[in-house]
Each structure stands twice: as C-alpha cells, then as structure tokens.
Structure 1
C-alpha cells in the first residue's frame, strides 16, 4: 500500500475546501444584500428596509449554522457525510435568497437581470456547496493509502452492484450497512439489517476473486449481498462470514489489517444467551413499531433529539425575559434528554444485534454450500 500524501496535507486541503464552501454561502448572502439595495434605490421608500441587508439575512441563519457545525463535529470521523451536514445551512440560505426583492422590475439592463436571477443563483450556490463538501470528503478518503489506515477516519466504500449497500471501515469495527433484504418484514426498518464485526473478534481478512457462479451470498441475519465476477474481500468473526464484492480488494484488505493491528480497544465481551434473546425481542419490537409516528428505531429518537434541541434553542432566542427563556428551554430540553436516553438504549440493542445476529453459542459460521471464489492471497 502506498504511503499517501500524509494526513497533514489531506486535512489542510479539506479545511481549505470547507472554507471555500462557507465563502460561497457568504457570497450568496452578500449578492442577495446587494440586490435588495439596488431594488430599494429605485423603489418606493417603504420597500427600502434595513432588514434585507446581508448582515441581517446572515443573522437569521445562525441556528442553522450552529446545527450544521454541531453535525460536522459529530461526524468529524466521517468526512464522506460532511456534504449532508452542510446542506443543513446551505438549503435554508437558498430558500431565503431565492426570490428577487420587491421593486426588481424597475431596474434596467444588467442590474435587472442580475437581481431577477435570484431563483438561479440560490440553487446553484447550494449545489456548489454540496459538491465542494464532496470534494473535501474525497481528499481525506481517496486514494486508499497507508496514511488513511492509521488515521481513524471512517471509510464508506461502495460495493460492486450493491446499490445503496456500503462496507464501512470504522476505527474499531467493520460494518455492512443496508444489505439487501429478502422479505417485507426486513424492509420495514433497514437500519436493523446492518451487521458489524469488531476488530477484536475479526479472524480472517482475505482478498479473493469471485468466479461468477453465485449471484447472491446469504448473511447470518437473513439478508444477502449481491455478487458479481471480480475482486472481493472475505471476512470472518463473531460467528459471521461475509463475502464483500468491492473494487481494489487488496488495498481494502491491507487497510483493514493495518487498523486491526493498530486498534487500541479492549476485548469485547460475549453476551449470554439470555442477554442475546432479550436483545432480539427488543429489536423485533422496534421493527414492528415501523417508521413515523410511534417509531422506536434509533434514527427516530435521534430525529426527536435534534428537533427538541432546536426548539429549546429557538424558544430561548425568541422569548423575552429570563423567566420565559428558561421555561421554554426547560420544557423542550426535557424532551431532548428523554429522546437522547431512548436513543442510547435503542442503539445498544441494535448494536448487539449487529455484532451477534446468531446466538453466540452457535460458534463459527457454517461454510457456504457453494464456494463463489476461485483464488485468494493465501492468508
């Protein structure tokens, strides 16, 4: 595996790109402010309002900016997800600047087209911010090299022909996210179909070549991986065996091995049969709850935590007087804490189900009826 440019160089480029994305949003606010000034100069006096300048437009976005910053901090190890965090502030920026100011029709020439093009500038700026954030994530995660192996960054790798399924290399485990479900029950809450093998239990990391004799590979929780001829990685551990069709399997296998060697996490305990059965019962209750109102999935509680936290901040900002501010923040804060605790409990159940889809006493994974690979590196 090549050494790579070094994490210092990668982080420098990523931070510069994030700064460029912020500059694009600030530039859009400045352009919107200039458009309002041009329109106000030719319109009636009542249309010229100081609330439309760039500074006040920016002030109205500070809750969204804080939310985006919090998401970036929470996802600092997952640079490939930064683009979604920046959408939290770039989309509201586009909304509040999407309409031309009143009085724009009175302008002439270039100024008229400059101001009336607001519905074009806004989505373009949001799309540009998204693309820049994608570039920042790629700078930190591509190409796969030795410096990434020791960085602790979470890598989300596409599977060949896998659709939305992702192979995620984390700092202490590998995960299969959104494997293909085989029945309607599994399709209700796909986040309950994920699988994980902690590095402490990872036993085999083998690059292989698929021969194309099988089109699907069954996983221990009833889901499947779609196979196609080409390179892949075979992993075993926690009573599981995965065959992951992925490009550049040699580098991926070496990266996982390097992280397994460098891991600092302690050995993970094996759940008892009673603990495992209790977790499976809770997981099925979560699955039966479905999505939307009444949902008990970790993602539902996470959304509730975000919404209650946003309402607490908004209530504190909107109310006047410390009594009203404190009362509103307290009410919504209690809701946020409740969702946080439920989120942690549900996440613990789902985490155990990911690591142990079968009863731990079952031992090693059963060998597949067909061996869909023809060669390996012998490890």
Structure 2
C-alpha cells in the first residue's frame, strides 16, 4: 500500500529537512561552547523549539507538502535549508577551522541522500499500487535522458541539448489522455532519434519503448521495457484526465509556436548549450518568503501598530505578483513541452518502421508481479 510506503519514508524526510539542518546548528554551537558537559539533545531541542528557528526548514516542509507526489523534487527541496548551511559553514570555516567546513559540506550531502532514499522507498519497486498511484516514477534511459512517469503525463528530461539553439525547451511531454499507442520493441543497430524540441537521443542496441501521442513519437531505450510498458499503460488507463488547452491566439502558446517554426530548420553545428529549466521556481520561493513576511506584518498589525498595514500590502503584493508570474511562466513552458507539434498535427502511423533495425517484440504483461 502507498500509505505504508509514505509512512516509512516520512521519518527520512523529517531527518533530511529538519534533523540535518538543526543538527548542524547544534553542532556549530558545540564548536563555539565546547566542553564535556555539552548536552547535545537539550541544545537540539532548544534550537528546534526556539523563536529564532531556522525558517528555510518551514519552507522546505511546505514545498514537500505541495509536491508530495513529485519524488524527483524531494532531494532538491532538501537543499533549501541545507544549501545556506553549506555556504555559511565554508565561509566561517575559513576563519574558525576545518570542522565547520567539513560539517557545512556534509550537511547538504546527507540531507540530499536521505531525501533520495525516501523517494526510492515510495516509488520502487513497481508494484500495482505504485503503477496506479499519482506518485512520480523516474526511469533512466540507456545513455542520456530520463523518463518521468508523473501523475498526469509522461515527461522526458535530461536530454542532450536541442540541436537548434533557439529551442525554448529542453524537455518534452505527452499527457496521458493523448497517448494513442504504446509498444515494446528492439533496436538491433545504433540509431539517432529526434524529439519535438530538436534534441537527438542516441539509441543503443537493445530493448526500446515506443510511445505515440499528441502528434509525437518517442523511442526510449529502457532496459526493463516490460515493466516500463506496464507502468505507462496502467497509469494511462487509471489517471488519464482531459486538460483543455487555451485558444491558439493566447499568449501562452508563444514558446510552442517558436518550436513549430524550428521543425524544418537545421542548425549549422551541434548545439552544446542546454536549456535551463526551473529558473521560474525561484519566483515561487520568493513568493513564499514574502508571504511569510506579510503574515508576520498581519500579526504585528493586530498586536502592535496599524502602521504594519503598509508591510501587509507591500509584501502581500509582491507575493501575489511573484505567484502569478510563476504560474504564467510554468503554463507557457508546459504548453511547449506537451505541444512541440501543432495541436492539429496527426499522430505518426504506428505501422511504419521508425528507425532502421527496429522490430516489435511481443510482451506478455501478466508475467510482471502485481504485488
């Protein structure tokens, strides 16, 4: 059951997001005070419950609550409280000693590892409960690239840089409701496969998963093609949900339309500059920070002076504006990822041979464990 998996993973998340940063702060205190009488547990509790608590921990917990299904984000969230610790540890360690440098470097590494382990516990192995749940499952491809089977779509990231330097996205996606064909096959000779964002993936000989939908065709070199195919099919059947797209004249189609214009163009030389993703998520973090400031101003307004009303309006306005900008940029990127071809484009014919050396391989889905 997924509940049991989360129950096992939750202590690791708390250790990663709460235990590691407050443990570091307590250790830092030990380096300052020293002595055999130092009570680590008491100092840890004091810092954990003190009014001057480390606020990035609260932000990390809120992000985890919002992204409870996105397992690939959990290790990165762990860096929200741990990255400042690493920076300050190295900075102060240059003056105070190597212990602070070592602790500052170890803290984010341990936090990241604990969150990664928690994500693995929730998403692997691929039992029936995982296949039918919304939890994200990340599957590495042979060579470069990663398939992320998410709650409502398939997402390909970590692809080679787009061949065309003007490509606005480095990832592609297919929503479950637009998947029309899933097939297991084998590639007997090395080949290249180009995706809608102009990224090219090297296909090494071996099993390959073929997915068609949303005007796109993917060939994905995965080792356990049977388990991956079953995951995609079952989650598509259970979690496919229509997601209406805005009219084509909407400004959110800007990046997608740029991709459509690049399809017939060829870059003069291979592009080595990857498209940076997730930069707009910084706006969400800033929104959360300013929202906390606005909340504090509300508290001070009712317990102190009405002059804090200015802080409520100022920080609240910034928080609202950042949240709207984050949502707008995210929606624009999502449309481009899911529509590298125009919505009017037909799906590729599954009867044609996609690459030289391709052959379909029959897969008996019932052979996979359904625990």
**What range is the shorter-chain TM-score in?**
0.7 to 0.9
**Could you say if the C-alpha distance between residues 280 and 368 of structure 1 is closer, same or farther in structure 2, counting changes exceeding 3 Å?**
farther
| Cα offsets for 1:168-197 (capped at 9, x unmatched) | 1112211222433102222xx4xx242222
* Cα distance in 2, alignment partners of residues 232 and 322 from structure 1: 66
Structure-2 residue corresponding to 1:209: 186
How far did residue 357 of structure 1 move? 1.8
Within 5 A, what are the aligned runs for 1:157-176?
157-162=139-144, 165-176=145-156
Mapped pair 1:196 → 2:173: yes
Structure 1 alignment gaps of length 5 or more: 1-5, 42-50, 105-114, 287-296
* Cα distance in 1, alignment partners of residues 88 and 337 from structure 2: 42
Aligned residues: 333
Structure 2 counterpart of 1:182, from 144, 159, 163:
163
* Aligned partner of residue 304 in structure 1, secondary structure: helix
Contact 2:26 2:44 in 1 (8 A): no
**Could you say if the C-alpha distance between residues 213 and 178 of structure 1 is closer, same or farther in structure 2, counting changes exceeding 3 Å?**
closer
* Aligned partner of residue 107 in structure 2, secondary structure: helix
Mapped pair 1:244 → 2:220: yes
**Could you say if the C-alpha distance between residues 116 and 178 of structure 1 is closer, same or farther in structure 2, counting changes exceeding 3 Å?**
closer
Provide TM-score, normalisation by structure 1.
Answer: 0.75
| Cα offsets for 1:247-287 (capped at 9, x unmatched) | 2111011011111121262x445776x448x654455689x
How far did residue 307 of structure 1 move? 1.9
Structure 2 counterpart of 1:351, from 296, 319, 334:
334
Stretch of structure 1 that moved more, 167-176 or 356-365: 356-365
Mapped pair 1:127 → 2:109: yes
How far did residue 325 of structure 1 move? 3.6
**Could you say if the C-alpha distance between residues 357 and 89 of structure 1 is closer, same or farther in structure 2, counting changes exceeding 3 Å?**
same
Structure-2 residue corresponding to 1:225: 201
**Could you say if the C-alpha distance between residues 325 and 228 of structure 1 is closer, same or farther in structure 2, counting changes exceeding 3 Å?**
farther
**Could you say if the C-alpha distance between residues 358 and 141 of structure 1 is closer, same or farther in structure 2, counting changes exceeding 3 Å?**
same
Structure-2 residue corresponding to 1:48: none
* Cα distance in 2, alignment partners of residues 270 and 54 from structure 1: 51
Q: What is the RMSD of the two structures over their aligned residues, measured on CA atoms?
A: 3.6
| Cα offsets for 1:113-172 (capped at 9, x unmatched) | xx972332332233212211111111112222222112210122222111xx32111122
Provide TM-score, normalisation by structure 2.
Answer: 0.76
**Could you say if the C-alpha distance between residues 317 and 228 of structure 1 is closer, same or farther in structure 2, counting changes exceeding 3 Å?**
same
Structure-1 residue corresponding to 2:239: 263
| Cα offsets for 1:187-217 (capped at 9, x unmatched) | xx4xx24222221121111122221241x10
* Cα distance in 2, alignment partners of residues 271 and 56 from structure 1: 47
Structure-2 residue corresponding to 1:370: 355
**Could you say if the C-alpha distance between residues 349 and 24 of structure 1 is closer, same or farther in structure 2, counting changes exceeding 3 Å?**
closer
* Cα distance in 1, alignment partners of residues 342 and 295 from structure 2: 49
How far did residue 241 of structure 1 move? 0.7
How far did residue 225 of structure 1 move? 2.2
Contact 1:298 1:347 in 2 (8 A): no
Structure 1 counterpart of 2:30, from 34, 37, 42:
34
* Aligned partner of residue 183 in structure 2, secondary structure: strand
Structure-2 residue corresponding to 1:90: 82
Structure-2 residue corresponding to 1:78: 70
Contact 1:37 1:53 in 2 (8 A): no
* Cα distance in 1, alignment partners of residues 230 and 129 from structure 2: 12
* Aligned partner of residue 183 in structure 1, secondary structure: coil
